[in-house]
Amino acid sequence: SFWLDVPLAVAAARLQTGEARPLWPAEDALARRAMFERRRAAYALADHRVDSSRGSADEVAREIEAIKNAFWR
């Protein structure tokens, strides 16, 4: 499994410009932080962490592909 990790500020910025996310508490910073931290704890259980805060979607996909190929030949 893969965890696409980003800081809360990056996630919030990306979600402000995208489609509606009914579970994302856009107007409540404290609730947003609490949700982010709860999910972060679960996501941290993934087998591999990929920093997706930098680079394009294609670059992140290439990094995932490289990890996948290194472990699952």
Q: What does the mean pLDDT of the chain come to?
A: 88
Name 52's Cβ contacts closer than 8 Å, sequence gap at least 6.
4, 5, 6, 60
- Model's pTM, two decimal places? 0.76
> Higher confidence at residue 43 or residue 72?
43
DSSP H or E run through 49: strand 48-51
Alpha carbons 28 and 66: distance in angstroms, whole number: 38
Residues of the chain with pLDDT > 70, as a percent, come to 95
pLDDT digits (tens, 9 = 90+) for 3-33: 999 999 998 888 776 567 777 777 788 988 9
pLDDT average, residue stretch 43-66: 94
